[in-house]
Chain A
Amino acid sequence: MAILATAVWEFDPGASNNNGGGYDAGISGAGADYSQQTTAQLALTDLAMTTGGATLTSATGGFTSAMIGNCIQITAGTNFTAGFYFITAYTDTNTVTIDRDATTGSNGSAGTGNVGGSLAAFTDAILEIFTAGNKLWVRNNGTMTITATIDISNAGTATAPFVVEGYNSTRGDAPTLANRPTIAAGANRVKFGAFWILKHFIFTTTEGIGLSADFSNSYNYFYNIKSTNSSGSGNRDAFYIAKGHAFLCEGISTLGRAFFISAFPSSVSWCYAHDSASGFECDATSDTVSFTGCIADTCTTGFVLGRVSTVLNSIAYNNTTGMSIDPGGEGNVFITNSILSDNTTGISAVADQDNSTGFHNLYYNNTSDVSNFTKGAGAVSGNPNFTDAANGDFTCTTGGAGIDAGPDLTLVGLTGSYKWNIGVDQDDLSAGGGGGTVSYISV
């Protein structure tokens, strides 16, 4: 037996990385969960164990039956293998059974260990020992500071991913904005393995690739995370996504890329990139990258699109170049139902990009709407009537040119009035529409 997939771990910056940190309700007879407290429930310095067995003893004692299911971290001792062990049975105050032999091959003595208590901060060593399917909770009790590289090989699986979830005061409260736990990485890489899912964090870094996961086989996703790369060095990323997905995330990379997508298939949905050199950027050779409901605001280039990229219901606002297309001459870029507003150039493509196409996009107040790019069918000109774009409100008020100006779904045989809007805001302003010239193509 080892750490089971059902184990749950707790991190709290105010706790200690010498604590047990884990609880597994799947262990028969599991008692109280002592992992959700900053201090250990029991700290011992005289642990002993006969090699080859799983019986752990302490002359001092203090074990209780309620400790079954809790993790004891053995940090040192004679002939002990430091590590995390789960208590599976209770004999008496001086004796418990743990999930496996904790010795190095000789009888262990003078062992130090803590039962219960949260772990304090991610380290590479700690994150490598978990088992696929484990859940990691991070409590918002101040910033978690990273002091060394984290580059995890430990991989989840499609059916048993690792899930790392921040919370504010109660597990599962799905915090937003400043109530999310902060992880500060400095110059240290923080790269998760394949099949890691991260939710509800604020992340800061100056490192080259920002918040990232396994490059070649990741299948990870980031959800409700704000990542800021404040490096003074160019081309550094806030998010680095490889075969992964980002939902409802905010990225800022002062001189680099807020969202960099290096491998496909990947998707970025309902994300906000701003005040960056590049908002959303695909590797030039990446296929099958989609951006849906994304907003690039005040970047040098809002979207840098690679070979087969699709942009749907997105906004490029106040960028030097709203969207840049260089698919390497091999692919197609589709920009659909999106707003290009207040950019120096709305969409700029390298020459001869006949296969890159726009449908139902709205152009407004760009110095130049397009360069080497055909606007395509359904193009609209007119003020989208953003509520307050300068302060991040890209909803559209009544009369906005993008309202009801999206594709007409009755052309595919559907019936009814869908009133699809151009842009991110899909509020059904029935009095809207009519701004600009709208024409539809036959599909």
Chain B
Amino acid sequence: MMINEKYSFKDFTGMSFIENDPDEFSDSTIKGACFSQESNDDTLKSIFPVGMQNVVFENCNLDNVLLPKTCTISGSTSNRNIRIMPDGNDWVLGTNKYVLSNRLVVLEPVNKKSFIKENRNIDPAQFELGDIEIEVSK
């Protein structure tokens, strides 16, 4: 698939392209771009235009980005649901693979290695489950 020169190897942290022409993206491979978003709730953000399709994101940062259904990720691309928790840090949300549920739970700190090195609490049970168990909508 054609490499998307316009959007590859660029920093789009916090930016939205919802108003852009979907043809700028569709049927292309975007390499090494950072589309990372911040979120203070459980939702992934829609930042790409309606109608965008068949985009391969290779080695991109798509954290907190809602990926359109026809798009795929490859390489080291990250597409995590991240929320800033009451401890002020970024935590990864996801479904618990040991429980048959489609509810989001807190899994681990984004920067787990740092937490371990600094002897900080990585137990997600420290957070009130009632605050974060939210139906998965995607």
Q: Is B33 an interface residue (CB 8 A)?
A: yes
Interface residues of A in 272-296 (CB under 8 A from B): none
Q: Is B117 an interface residue (CB 8 A)?
A: yes
Q: Is A46 an interface residue (CB 8 A)?
A: no
Interface string of A138-178 (1 = CB under 8 A from B): 00011111111101010000000000000000000000000
Complex formed: what's the CA distance from A235 to B78 in Å?
25
Q: Tally of A-B residue pairs with Cβ under 8 A?
A: 105
Q: Is A75 an interface residue (CB 8 A)?
A: no
Residues of B within 8 A of A232 (CB): 38, 40
Q: Which of A124, A148, A184 has the most CB of B within 10 A?
A: A184
Q: What distance in Å separates the Cβ of A346 from its nearest Cβ neighbour in chain B?
A: 31
Residues of B within 8 A of A5 (CB): none
Minimal Cβ-Cβ distance residue in A for B116: A151
A120-B32, A149-B114, A233-B84 in contact; A187/B90 too (CB < 8 A)? Answer: yes
Interface string of A187-201 (1 = CB under 8 A from B): 111010000000000
Interface residues of B in 52-94 (CB under 8 A from A): 59-61, 63-64, 76-78, 82, 84, 88-90
Which residue of the partner chain, among A141, A153, A184, contacts B34 with CB atoms under 8 Å?
A: A184
Q: Are A147 and B113 in contact (CB under 8 A)?
A: no
Q: What distance in Å separates the Cβ of B49 from its nearest Cβ neighbour in chain A?
A: 21
Q: Is A206 an interface residue (CB 8 A)?
A: yes
Q: What distance in Å separates the Cβ of A138 from its nearest Cβ neighbour in chain B?
A: 13
Interface string of A108-133 (1 = CB under 8 A from B): 00000000000011011000000000
Q: Is B111 an interface residue (CB 8 A)?
A: yes
Q: What distance in Å separates the Cβ of B138 from its nearest Cβ neighbour in chain A?
A: 19
Residues of B within 8 A of A189 (CB): 110-111, 114
A141-B9, A206-B13 in contact; A124/B113 too (CB < 8 A)? Answer: yes
Complex formed: what's the CA distance from A141 to B10 in Å?
10
Q: How large is the interface on A (under 10, 10 to 19, 20 to 34, 35 or more residues)?
A: 35 or more
Q: What distance in Å separates the Cβ of A210 from its nearest Cβ neighbour in chain B?
A: 12
Q: What distance in Å separates the Cβ of B129 from its nearest Cβ neighbour in chain A?
A: 22
Q: Is B36 an interface residue (CB 8 A)?
A: yes
Which residue of the partner chain, among B59, B112, B113, contacts A145 with CB atoms under 8 Å?
A: B59
Minimal Cβ-Cβ distance residue in B for A230: B14
Q: Are A121 and B111 in contact (CB under 8 A)?
A: no
Which residue of the partner chain, among B34, B40, B76, contacts A186 with CB atoms under 8 Å?
A: B34
Q: Are A147 and B9 in contact (CB under 8 A)?
A: no
Q: Is A207 an interface residue (CB 8 A)?
A: yes
Please report whether the interface of chain B is mostly helix, strand, loop or mixed according to DSSP. loop
Minimal Cβ-Cβ distance residue in A for B8: A142
Q: Is A298 an interface residue (CB 8 A)?
A: no
A186-B63, A187-B82 in contact; A147/B77 too (CB < 8 A)? Answer: yes
Q: Is B21 an interface residue (CB 8 A)?
A: no
Q: Is B11 an interface residue (CB 8 A)?
A: yes
Which residue of the partner chain, among A17, A145, A191, contacts B61 with CB atoms under 8 Å?
A: A145
Q: Which of A121, A145, A215, A232 has the most CB of B within 10 A?
A: A145
Q: Is A208 an interface residue (CB 8 A)?
A: yes
Q: Are B111 and A142 in contact (CB under 8 A)?
A: no
Complex formed: what's the CA distance from A148 to B78 in Å?
8
Q: Are A187 and B110 in contact (CB under 8 A)?
A: yes
A149-B112, A187-B82, A206-B13 in contact; A121/B32 too (CB < 8 A)? Answer: yes
Q: Are B14 and A121 in contact (CB under 8 A)?
A: no
Interface residues of A in 31-80 (CB under 8 A from B): none
Q: What distance in Å separates the Cβ of A92 from its nearest Cβ neighbour in chain B?
A: 35
Q: Are A208 and B88 in contact (CB under 8 A)?
A: yes
Complex formed: what's the CA distance from A188 to B110 in Å?
7
Which residue of the partner chain, among B11, B40, B78, B111, contacts A147 with CB atoms under 8 Å?
A: B78
Residues of B within 8 A of A206 (CB): 13-14, 36, 38, 90
Q: Are A142 and B59 in contact (CB under 8 A)?
A: no
Q: Are A191 and B36 in contact (CB under 8 A)?
A: no
Q: Are A14 and B9 in contact (CB under 8 A)?
A: yes
Minimal Cβ-Cβ distance residue in B for A203: B11
Interface string of B19-59 (1 = CB under 8 A from A): 00000000000011110101010000000000000000001
Residues of B within 8 A of A188 (CB): 61, 110-111
Residues of B within 8 A of A191 (CB): 114
- Residue pairs across A and B with Cβ atoms less than 8 A apart, 17 shown, are A17-B76, A142-B8, A143-B11, A145-B11, A147-B59, A149-B113, A151-B113, A153-B117, A184-B13, A187-B110, A189-B110, A189-B111, A204-B11, A208-B89, A215-B118, A233-B40, A233-B88
Closest 8 CB pairs of A and B: A142-B9, A186-B36, A184-B34, A184-B11, A189-B111, A147-B78, A145-B34, A143-B11
Given contacts A120-B32, A148-B78, A187-B63, 20 further A-B contacts (CB under 8 A): A142-B10, A144-B32, A145-B59, A147-B59, A147-B61, A147-B76, A151-B114, A153-B117, A182-B11, A184-B61, A186-B78, A187-B36, A204-B11, A204-B34, A206-B90, A215-B118, A230-B14, A232-B40, A233-B38, A233-B40
